[in-house]
Amino acid sequence: MDGAAATTQYRETAAAGTFCYIDPEYQKTGLVCTKSDVYALGVIYLQMVTAREPMGLAYTVSDALEEGTFADVLDPKVTGWPVQEAQAFAELALKCCEMRRRDRPDLETVVMPELIRLHRLVSPSEYSSPPPPSMDHTHHRSASEKDLRLDDDLVHILSDGSMKGGISFAI
C-alpha cells in the first residue's frame, strides 16, 4: 500500500453560530454533541412563544414562571394563548436550555413526544383521538394580512424551521 492510500486526512474546524444559541459547555470545552443542538432548540422554542430576542431569554421566562407572570412574557401579538399548553412548551424549552448537557432532555424520548402531543392539540383532525376539552381552538394572531393562525405558524415552523414573511431561525 502506498503512503497516500494509507493516510487518513481530517480537517479540524470550529463550530459556528450565534452566541445566544451556542451550548455553554461547548463554549467551555470545545466539544460538540447532539445535546449542543438541544440547547439551541430550547432558545428557539422560547423565542417562538415570546417573540423576544434570545439574550437572557431563558432567565426571563424562568423568572416569569417562578413569579406566576408567565402570561406576561407571551408574544402579545398572539391573542387567546392556551397559556397552560404554552407554559408546558416553555418548561420543555427551559429544560433544553440547561447549562449542563447531561441535564438536557433527549430529542427522541422527551422532546419529540411532547411536540407530537402539542401538535395533536392544534391539529386534532390529523389524529384519531380528540384533544382535551379544555383546549381552546380559537387562538389566533391579530388580524393583519401578514398574521396567520398560531397553529398554522407552529406547524410550518416545526416542519421547515422558517416563519412566513422570510424570517427564519438559523443556528
Q: pLDDT digits over 138-151, tens only?
A: 444 443 333 334 45
Rounded-to-integer distance, Cα 90 and Cα 112, Å: 14
Is 122 among the domain residues?
yes
Residue 90 domain boundaries: 24-127+139-160
pLDDT tens figures, 54-87: 999 999 999 999 999 999 999 999 988 889 999 9
CA geometry: angle 14, 15, 18, nearest 5 deg: 130
Is 16 among the domain residues?
no
Domains in the chain, number: 1
Please check the confidence at residue 97 and state whether its pLDDT lies above 90: yes
Burial label, 126 (beta-carbon count in 10 A; 0-12, 13-18, 19+): exposed
Rounded-to-integer distance, Cα 169 and Cα 54, Å: 11
Element (H, E) at 141: strand 140-141
Q: Which domain CATH number covers 42? A: 1.10.510.10
- Band the pLDDT of 133: cuts 50, 70, 90: low
Report, in angstroms and rounded to the nearest whole number, the Rg of the chain calculated over CA atoms: 19
Is 170 among the domain residues?
no
Is 3 among the domain residues?
no
Residue 30's pLDDT is: 84
User: Which stretches within 22-168 are classed as H helix?
Assistant: 24-29, 34-50, 57-67, 70-73, 83-96, 112-122, 150-160
pTM of the model: 0.65
Q: What single letter denotes the amino acid at residue 63? A: D
- Band the pLDDT of 89: cuts 50, 70, 90: very high
pLDDT tens figures, 3-60: 555 665 544 556 566 788 888 888 888 888 888 899 999 999 999 999 999 999 999 9
Please check the confidence at residue 118 and state whether its pLDDT lies above 60: yes
